[in-house]
Amino acid sequence: MGAQLRKGVVEYCVLGILRRAPAYGWKISEHLVEQGLIGSIGTLYPLLGRLRDQRLIVAHADESDSARPRKYYTLTEAGRDQLDQFRRQWEPFASAVDRVTGPD
């Protein structure tokens, strides 16, 4: 899949991961790399910054389990709304693309 197409949906994939539960960056990146949605963790942090700037996620440090606290990300209500809106639009869009590009 092309980089531009992936870039357009990866932010929503992050919101989807965080909808299930708060997660720290490394865990989010593992999931996205496994799915072939990003190449490395280095591409994730700018994306997380943009989502924070848009107030779709918030970050908080968990200092309980190590000398270096992990930064956990949580979906906000605005993030949940944005994800719901994306999901309502994605299925009809993906179906239309399948119809146009599918086999004869």
Kindly report the CATH number assigned to the domain that includes residue 15. Answer: 1.10.10.10
88: burial class by Cβ within 10 Å (0-12, 13-18, 19+)?
Answer: exposed
Q: Are 23 and 73 in contact (CB under 8 A)?
A: yes
Name the residue range of residue 29's domain: 3-101
For the whole model, what pTM was predicted? 0.85
Q: For residue 104, give both structure tokens.
A: 């004869």
pLDDT tens digit string along 15-58? 999 999 999 999 999 999 999 888 888 889 999 999 999 999 99
User: Band of the pLDDT at 61, cuts 50, 70, 90?
Assistant: confident
Total tally of structural domains belonging to the chain: 1
User: Band of the pLDDT at 74, cuts 50, 70, 90?
Assistant: very high
Q: Compute the half-sphere exposure of residue 30: CA atoms within 13 Å on the CB side of its CA.
A: 5
